[in-house]
Each structure stands twice: as C-alpha cells, then as structure tokens.
Amino acid sequence: MKVTENKIYNPEIECMDRESLKKIQDERLKETVAHVYNNVPLYKKRMDEAGVKPEDIKGTEDLYKLPFTNKTDLRDEFPYGLLAVPKEEIVRIQGSSGTTGKPIVSGYTENDVEVWTEMVARSLVAAGAGKDDIVQVTYGYGLFTGGLGAHQGASRVGAVVVPMSSGNTQRQLMMMHDLGATMLCCTPSYAIFLGESLKEMGYDPKEFKLKSGCFGAEPWTEEMREKMEELFDINAYNIYGLTEIAGPGVAFECPAKAGMHINEDHVLAEIVDPATGEPLPYGESGELVLTTISKTGMPMIRYRTHDICTLDVTPCACGRTHVRMSRITGRTDDMLIIRGVNMFPSQIESVLLGIQGVAPHYMLIVDRVNSTDRLEVQVELTDAMFSDTVADIEKIQKKITDQIKSVVGVAANVKLVPPKTIPRSEGKAKRIIDNRGLTSK
C-alpha cells in the first residue's frame, strides 16, 4: 500500500498545546453563547428556563450548564427559526433528512462556509492531499453536504477537483482512470462497489493512480477499510460530519488511523449518557454532543448527534493534539443510513398512513448485497385489500414504492404481506432488521 506522508494543513492550530487551545475555546464559547442568547429566541428561552445567563459560562468547564439542542428543535423551527443573524447574511442552505418528510436545514454565513472549508482542507491534507492531487468527488452534490464540502476543501488545498457527484459507476471509473485521479471522496460502501466493478469492467487496478480516499457519511468497519485498501491499493481514511454542524470535516482520520481528530478550535465535543444526559469521562462510550464555537449563522449549542462513540485525548503519533473520536458504533435513535441517505422509519410510516388498503404495520429489512444496501419494506395489507385482485394489489405496491422514493429518497423493494403476519410487540415495536453488521467496532 502507498504510504501517506504525514502532512498537516494548519500545524499551529492542529498541534497546539491543549492549554492554549482551551483559551481559544473559552473565548469562542463565551462569544457564541452571548450571540445565540441575544439573537435566537429558542436559546434564550431554554437558557432562561434552566436559569443560566451568558455570564455564567466562563469556559468549557461550564458547558454542562447549557441546555441541549435536538434534531426536533431544527424540525420545529424549520426553516429559519434558529438563525442567529439576519437572513441577508446567509449565503448557503444545506440539508439532510429529518424524522418527517421535511428535511433538516442549516443556514451558513460566509464565515461558516469558510470554517467548514478549512476543516475539510485539514481532513484532505491529513489524507495526503496537495496541489499535485486530482480529487474525484463522488459524494452527491446538492443539499447533502458531501459533494460541495469535499469540493470546497479540495479547492482550498489547490488540488484539481473532479466534481463527478454520485452514481454512474462506469463513467466514474472511466474518469478516474483517464484523468489519473489520485484521491477519491465518496461513501465507503460506494467505494467498495466501485472497486469491485473495476475488475468486472476489465481494468487492471495498477493502471489507476489513486493513493488515498476520504470516506464517510455512513458507518463503516475495519473490514471495509481492508477491502477498500486492497481493491484500490490505497489508504482509506474516515471522515465524519453532519449538516447541522458543518458537513464533512468535523472530524477526520490522520495516517495513524487511530480515531478521527475533532476540529476542536471550531467544535467542542462531549460524550453523554444517552439516557440521563450526564457527561461521561473520556474513554467511555456514549452519545456524542457537539457545540459549535465559531459558526455565526446557525450555531449549535450542545447538539445531540445521537451518534455513539468514545473520545480519546491521549497523544497521537501524527502530532495533532485535538481529541479523537472512535468510529460510530451505533445510534441512540432509529435513524438508518441507506446508500448514504439518512432515513427514519417514521418517514415510511407517514407514507403508509396516507395509503388506503394497507395497515400501519411494517418491517424494514436492510441487507448489503454486492456492497450495495438493499432496503426491503414489508407492509401488511388490510383484510379488505387482501381479497382484492392481483392488479389492485400491484397498483398499491407501485404507489408505496413511488412514494417512499419521493419522500425518503431511497428506492425500496416493497413486499406486501397478508394481514397480521408482521409480529406485534408488547413494548416498543421492532421495525428494523439490519443485517449489514456495521455497528461493530
């Protein structure tokens, strides 16, 4: 495997001693808290209810006093309720799936795009990027932050960007081959699919110039790393992020491949007990909670990511001092990521509730076949519909398939099953069977 040179985009910040880093964090946290308290009614209300004033927050040690923010707050305040600046200062909207048909959107100021770009630049440089590189961006471009995020970061580094966006495997491989792409940015499952298709299309992996890739937007495993590295003869690096905070680049792996450094001069990380919300010490597994300290458009205070991981602050071989997060080992809610698209079972439920002839009993079965996620949605027919003609039943099946595609954005294989065949549960209904094995370390 090619060796990645240990390059650091912003060594002054990325390798700063933790005491000096804390001073920056304290200042930025105080500014951010005052900014949201004065400009976002929801934050003011929550802080007043909790009896916390901006003056009570003197540094990161006071973070725990602040109330949490949740995905539901973004949904309830959709689209502009959480903006901390006048709309004229917003230059970009990005989004991802929410728990209902409506997306979660975040507004970014020029400053926020700049911060995000810097974070992705750090991530790409850690994976070996420089002016000589040709970066193929195969994350989707659009509301999803993957495409534009990787694009901005690669441009900042001075690399050549090939803005392929997602899909069209043959064309992806042809361009990668003919242009001599040296880095690839896409979801890990698609990277494996591309790698497997490469041989099927008759290419010799040696004809490719790829040396590394930044893969994220969905959970993946060490086994998948081995597979990607072998298929393409590259170094595969993990990159993490979420729309609400900044898109990709919130955290990224360095050549040590021992966790993802969180850009702590821009984002503060805590791990809390998902049930009680109590902060947990470094090393313990729990829910990742993030606070932005340099965003101006839509800052997030103690945002519950629902992602489960651990934090590690021990020194890293690369020289960076910023804390590292482990792989995401699970979620505290029922969000699924299918072919890179975030979705919630409740979205499927809302589709079914609007269709006559089916009962709101369903089961989602997720598999990975040839490196591609497959979603099967089993839906119960009502007694009346069960006795109907095959043509009528096929019509319903098509309707459900189309609506899931349009509301959730994922193509599903809809299977209609006879009444009362989906197991009923006495407690919380079990709606998901995920056979992909992605939640192991």
User: Which residue's CB atom is positioned nearest to ligand DLL?
Assistant: 216
Q: Which is nearer to ligand DLL, 126 or 337 (CB)?
A: 337
Q: Which is nearer to ligand DLL, 13 or 217 (CB)?
A: 217
Contact 147, 141 (CB under 8 A): yes
Return left, alpha or beta for 90; rule: phi > 0 is left, psi -120 to 50 is alpha, else beta: beta
Q: Which is nearer to ligand DLL, 66 or 308 (CB)?
A: 308
For the stretch 315-325, what's the b/e string if a residue is b when 16 or more beta carbons lie within 10 angstroms of its beta carbon? ebebebbbbbb
Tell me the closest approach of the beta carbon of residue 258 to ligand DLL, in angstroms: 15
DSSP string, 161-198: EE---S--HHHHHHHHHHHT--EEEE-HHHHHHHHHHH
The tokens for 266 are 């821009």
Tell me the closest approach of the beta carbon of residue 437 to ligand DLL, in angstroms: 14
Report the alpha-carbon distance of residue 265 to residue 263 in Å, rounded. Answer: 6
The tokens for 106 are 């975040």
Q: Which is nearer to ligand DLL, 146 or 357 (CB)?
A: 146
Count of alpha carbons within 13 Å of 289, Cβ hemisphere only?
Answer: 23
Tell me the closest approach of the beta carbon of residue 189 to ligand DLL, in angstroms: 11
Entry field: residues in the chain: 441
Q: Which is nearer to ligand DLL, 15 or 335 (CB)?
A: 335
Tell me the closest approach of the beta carbon of residue 392 to ligand DLL, in angstroms: 37
Contact 106, 92 (CB under 8 A): no
Q: Which is nearer to ligand DLL, 134 or 308 (CB)?
A: 308
Tell me the closest approach of the beta carbon of residue 64 to ligand DLL, in angstroms: 22
Tell me the closest approach of the beta carbon of residue 32 to ligand DLL, in angstroms: 20
Tell me the closest approach of the beta carbon of residue 233 to ligand DLL, in angstroms: 22
Tell me the closest approach of the beta carbon of residue 407 to ligand DLL, in angstroms: 16
Instruction: Give the H/E segment covering residue 201.
Output: none
Q: Which is nearer to ligand DLL, 4 or 342 (CB)?
A: 342
Strands (DSSP E) contained in 45-203 are 90-97, 103-109, 134-137, 160-162, 183-186
Q: Which is nearer to ligand DLL, 54 or 345 (CB)?
A: 345
Contact positions toward ligand DLL, by CB under 6 A?
A: 96, 139, 144-146, 216-219, 238-243, 247-248, 305, 307, 328, 337, 342
DSSP string, 9-51: SSHHHHT--HHHHHHHHHHHHHHHHHHHHHH-HHHHHHHHHHT
3-class secondary-structure state, position 375: strand
AA letter at 124: L
Select from 380, 345, 388 the least CA-distant residue to 359.
380
